[in-house]
Structure 1
């Protein structure tokens, strides 16, 4: 059950989060306001971003990543996968059920 770390401009983050959950690519997406300092195209930028933490399954990860890339406004979006080393079984079951196709 991976958690996927994504950063996005605040105006794009809400749509990304909602789309991932509506399309059952993520069971839940947490949104955290953040200020980031980074280098891009030889310049240092200091901007507001939103951190997205998407809970998904290993089976849905590739689709989730591809969907983020398709919707994300940046040329090179930050998408990092963190796999669990320990997870509450009931929580893992909820993520599985929430990302499964509707029956």
Structure 2
């Protein structure tokens, strides 16, 4: 299979705990919505929310998937997320190791 890199993306998300990150990550991988999830602990976020300056510890999640999976991914993450307005950002993958790009496509094939 030739990689179709223009159809792939990296998803950046934040959650409140490692437990929540693992729960959401497992759901996304089991449903083939993402090929894999990377979880990075101990991030500090400083932001305004409802006119208050906030500073919280968060966990970063990155995932590799197909652009076409984003609507369902956003729906699934939002359903299982503890935040009122979860951070879910789509970043295009412009290139990379062709074998790895094919692996992403294989692992996110919803027809199998």
Q: Is TM-score (shorter-chain normalized) higher than 0.5?
A: yes
Task: Give how far 1:30 is off.
Answer: 0.5
* Structure 2 residue 103 is the aligned partner of structure 1 residue 94: yes
* SS of corresponding position for 1:55: strand
TM-score (norm 1): 0.91
CA distance in 1, matches of 2:104, 2:73: 14
In the alignment, what sits opposite 2:37? Answer: 29
In the alignment, what sits opposite 1:84? Answer: 93
Q: How is 1:50-69 mapped onto 2 (pairs within 5 angstroms)? A: 50-69=59-78
TM-score (norm 2): 0.84
Per-residue CA distance 1:60-98 (angstroms, 9 max, x = gap): 222111111111111111111000111221111100111
Task: Give how far 1:102 is off.
Answer: 6.6
RMSD (CA atoms): 1.3
Ranges in structure 1 where 5+ consecutive residues have no aligned partner? none
Number of positions where the alignment pairs a residue of Structure 1 with one of Structure 2: 103
CA distance in 1, matches of 2:86, 2:105: 26
Per-residue CA distance 1:23-49 (angstroms, 9 max, x = gap): 111100000111111111221221111
Ranges in structure 2 where 5+ consecutive residues have no aligned partner? 1-7
CA distance in 2, matches of 1:58, 1:39: 29
